[in-house]
């Protein structure tokens, strides 16, 4: 019988990638993690032994704790968090249940080094339009919710990356960039093991808007228009990114949940 403090894999799948998803904390020990060094999308590794050092970062959020099989480490960590006033549940069956369901998981070998605060740091060209908003959205929703993004003049992207230990993306000559007909968003979806049907659908739309192939999907011109509109509404790149997060949240939810839905007016015509 399920515990009232557990959540099923099926329910967690519906939360991953959404703006109000709980914090996902992976507390697998090093030996268990070494067996499969991947993370459930959006989760962050933390040690159960250091809970007092990272508990403060969860203020105001609900938490789902993940260990290898959903047993002592996750239940103990969740109980400690609840004792500190943090709503916390346990993933039923742990990471093994997620992997057994053949759900996407992010390989840690593809993640950049983290800074002193445990965040990945990324750098790209200033004045973003499409890829440079879409990629940060993907990273924050599915890879590292605390990721930092630096927008700088194009000529200084690589130098800033070296000096500030930030991972460059969406410029020529780096790993995270266009490859053939694929845009950087496509590359990240593939490399991070996120090739689900909704994200692949969204990747097609992003690719079409980013590479001027408006025929790839009917939604491409809409994303292009909205993206160019946002770029003219905001002089501050980070403010534009925050606004763009909501835009991509909406496109993702359409890709996941609403592709078969149509709309017309009036909806209550006689005989309809």
What is the secondary structure of 86-126 as a DSSP string?
Answer: --EEEETTHHHHHHHTT---EEGGGSPPB-TTS-BEEEEES
Q: What is the pLDDT of residues 67-91, one digit of tens each?
A: 999 999 999 999 999 999 999 999 9
Query: Global pTM?
Result: 0.95
State the pLDDT at residue 2: 56
Q: What is the pLDDT of residues 125-174, one digit of tens each?
A: 999 999 999 999 999 999 999 999 999 999 999 999 999 999 999 999 99
By mean pLDDT, which of 55-59, 74-78, 136-140, 231-235 is the weakest?
Answer: 55-59
Reply yes or no on whether the pLDDT at 1 is more than 50.
no
Ramachandran area for residue 150 (φ above 0: left; ψ -120 to 50: alpha; else beta) = beta
How are beta strands 148-152 and 106-107 bridged, if at all? unpaired
- CA distances to 40, 86, 106, 251 from 103, rounded to whole Å, are 8, 27, 10, 21
**What integer is the mean pLDDT of 239-250?**
98
Residue 116: both structure tokens together: 């002193």
Taken in order of first residue, the domains within the chain and their CATH numbers are: 6-107 (3.40.250.10), 111-258 (no CATH)
**Order of strands across the sheet that contains 167-168:** 148-152, 121-125, 167-168
Reply yes or no on whether the pLDDT at 176 is more than 50.
yes
Reply yes or no on whether the pLDDT at 266 is more than 70.
yes
Q: How far is the C-alpha of 45 from the C-alpha of 47, rounded, in Å?
A: 7
């Amino acid at each position: 019988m399920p515990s009232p403090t557990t959540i099923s894999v099926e329910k967690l799948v519906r939360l991953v990638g959404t703006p109000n998803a709980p914090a996902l904390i992976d507390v697998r020990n090093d030996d268990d993690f070494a067996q499969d060094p991947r993370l459930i999308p959006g989760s962050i590794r933390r040690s159960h032994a250091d809970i007092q050092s990272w508990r403060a970062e969860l203020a105001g959020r609900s938490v789902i704790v993940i260990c290898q099989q959903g047993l002592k480490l996750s239940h103990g960590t969740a109980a400690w968090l609840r004792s500190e006033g943090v709503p916390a549940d346990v993933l039923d069956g742990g990471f093994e249940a997620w992997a057994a369901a053949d759900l996407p998981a992010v390989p840690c070998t593809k993640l950049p080094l983290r800074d002193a605060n445990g965040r990945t740091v990324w750098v790209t060209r200033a004045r973003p339009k499409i890829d440079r908003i879409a990629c940060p959205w993907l990273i924050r929703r599915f890879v590292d919710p605390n990721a930092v993004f630096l927008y700088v003049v194009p000529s200084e992207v690589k130098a800033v990356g070296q000096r500030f230990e930030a991972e460059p993306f969406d410029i020529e000559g780096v790993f995270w960039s266009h490859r053939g007909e694929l845009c950087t968003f496509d590359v990240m979806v593939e490399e991070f093991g996120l090739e689900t049907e909704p994200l692949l659908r969204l990747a097609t739309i992003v690719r079409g808007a980013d590479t001027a192939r408006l025929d790839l999907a009917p939604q491409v011109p809409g994303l292009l228009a909205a993206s160019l509109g946002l770029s003219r509404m905001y002089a501050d790149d980070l403010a534009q990114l925050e606004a763009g997060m909501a835009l991509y949240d909406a496109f993702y939810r359409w890709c996941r949940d609403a592709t078969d839905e149509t709309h017309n007016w009036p909806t209550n015509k006689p005989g309809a």
